[in-house]
Amino acid sequence: SYVLTQPPSVSVAPGQTARITCGGNNIGSKSVHWYQQKPGQAPVLVVYDDSDRPSGIPERFSGSNSGNTATLTISRVEAGDEADYYCQVWDSSSDSWVFGGGTKLTVL
């Protein structure tokens, strides 16, 4: 089955840019979606189809996808962005929805 690999943690100072990667075999050929999950809360979709944002998600959240790596970029990081972030794809070969292991974003 398809595997998505994320770094366990990323740290960034307020106001700086955070980049969270998601690795997968030829992931650039798939649509990647990103979710934010704060402690004790349900996940929230923050980026879909590699780089689109649902309504209500700040422009500071953006995404890209090429080759074997997709990236979620959070610009001008705020304390409120501290959360776990998960990438996800739909694997058509197995009709399954696959999540990465998650990355904990810490705002220093």
Helix (H, G, I), strand (E, B) or coil at 75: coil
Beta-strand pair 9-12/18-23 = unpaired
Q: Amino acid identity, residue 19? A: R
45 scored as a contact of other proteins (CB under 8 A): yes
Give CA–CA dist 95/35, Å, rounded: 20
Q: 15 or 58: whose CB is closer to other proteins? A: 58
User: Residues 102, 6: contact at Cβ < 8 Å?
Assistant: yes
Return the number of the residue (6 or 71) whose C-beta is nearest other proteins: 6
Using the rule CB under 8 A, which residue among 21, 31, 64, 68 binds other proteins?
A: 31
Size of the site for other proteins (CB under 8 A): 26
Would you say 104 and 80 are in contact if contact means Cβ atoms under 8 Å apart? Answer: no
Going by the DSSP 8-state scheme, the letter that residue 81 receives in this structure is G
Q: Write each residue from 74 to 93 as x if it is in contact with other proteins (CB under 8 A), else as -, in one continuous string.
A: ----------x-x-xxx---
- Residues at the contact surface with other proteins, assessed by CB under 8 A: 1, 31, 33, 35, 37, 41-45, 48-49, 54, 84, 86, 88-90, 95-102
